[in-house]
Amino acid sequence: MIAIKASDVEETKVGAIPYKGITSYAKDVGIRWLSKVGQDAQGAPTYGLRLFTVGPNGEIPTHNHAYEQTMYIISGQFECWDADLDTGKILDKKICGPGDMVYIRTMEPHGMRNVSADNSGQFLCCICTLGT
């Protein structure tokens, strides 16, 4: 068993996010890997649990990936969107807040931004791995 405080896990800044051959950059986004992916001393080979902190007006630009993910909003208000796989055009936007859950299918283009100009927001994100 591993029992730790999330605040004791090192936060790293999210940087470059490639999508459709273009590199965009996350704005004021930190990530703490609470359960690391992979078979290491603190890892789980089948999933990863991450805690994101997104600063005021922070954003994770549109991107996609081969794994599924589920996000659970802890605090703040986030504009979440999905986009067309071929064109990248935003299809749907929703404002999500504490207690809301967002599920992203494999390869589904998506992104989100903190709608507050004054407060940070946080969400947990669980990702499935493709293999061990």
Q: What is the pLDDT of residues 43-58, one digit of tens each?
A: 666 788 899 999 999 9
Which run of H or of E encompasses 31? Answer: strand 27-37
Q: Is residue 49 part of a domain?
A: yes
Question: Residue 49: which of 131, 127, 132 has the closest Cα?
Answer: 127
Is residue 77 a contact partner of residue 97, using CB atoms and an 8 Å limit?
A: yes
Q: Is residue 85 part of a domain?
A: yes
Q: For residue 126, what are the β-bridge partners?
A: 49, 70
SS3 16: strand
Single-letter amino acid, residue 60:
I
CATH number at residue 86: 2.60.120.10
Structural domains counted in the chain: 1
SS3 15: coil
The per-residue pLDDT for range 67-122, each reduced to its tens digit, is 899 999 999 999 999 999 988 899 999 999 999 999 999 999 999 999 999 999 99
- What is the span of the domain harbouring residue 33? 28-128
